[in-house]
């Protein structure tokens, strides 16, 4: 009973990168519900401030369809906890994600192959889309 109460209180935090926030439009997957089912527990979605800034830039520039997708991704980001890092402006977002995941021991949701490989190399669990239809995870919580 004691361990069940403890695990119920410990909500897992998961870092979502920009790529993950495009998944609902790309693959028609509810990223929040599917992540909850994959983990079989509640979680808190976290987005780095630099990810939001990246999406804002995309939403203002580029082809119309890309701007629409970025605006949708920004709306999804509003459902997440925004994490501000100390090196927001001078460090690439992927580097900030790797640093935050490593520091806090949080899994990351991304479909970016390079970022996935970097995270696997440092034993950070990675959630990603498999076969364009469902979520899967490399590593364990």
CA distance 88 to 140: 28
Q: Is the pTM of this model over 0.85?
A: yes
Convert 1-35 to b/e letters by CB count within 10 Å (16 or more is b). Answer: eeeeeeeeeeeebbbbbbbbbbbbeebebebbebb
CA distance 4 to 126: 25
What's the chain's length in residues? 141
Find residue 82's DSSP bridge partners.
47
* Mean of pLDDT values over 65-94: 91
In degrees, rounded to 5, the angle at the alpha carbon of residue 72 between the alpha carbons of residues 139 and 69 is: 90
What's the distance, CA 82 to chain centroid? Answer: 11
Top CATH class of 18-138 equals alpha beta
pLDDT band at 52 (very low <50, low <70, confident <90, very high): very high
> For residues 1 and 104, which has the higher predicted lDDT (pLDDT)?
104
Helix (H) or strand (E) holding 70: helix 64-77
* Mean of pLDDT values over 13-39: 97
Q: Where are the domains of the chain?
A: 18-138
Tokens of 132: 């364009």
């Amino acid at each position: 009973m004691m361990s069940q109460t403890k695990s119920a209180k410990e909500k897992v935090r998961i870092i979502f990168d920009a790529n993950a926030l495009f998944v609902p439009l790309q693959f028609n997957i509810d990223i929040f519900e599917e992540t909850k089912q994959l983990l079989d527990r509640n979680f808190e979605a976290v987005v780095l401030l630099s990810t939001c800034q990246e999406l804002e830039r995309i939403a203002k520039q580029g082809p119309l369809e890309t701007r629409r997708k970025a605006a949708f991704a920004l709306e999804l980001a509003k459902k997440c906890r925004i994490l501000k890092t100390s090196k927001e402006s001078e460090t690439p977002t992927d580097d900030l994600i790797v640093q935050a995941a490593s520091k806090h021991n949080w899994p990351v949701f991304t479909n970016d192959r390079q970022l996935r490989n970097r995270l696997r190399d440092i034993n950070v669990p990675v959630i990603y889309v498999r076969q364009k239809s469902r979520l899967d995870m490399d590593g364990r919580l």
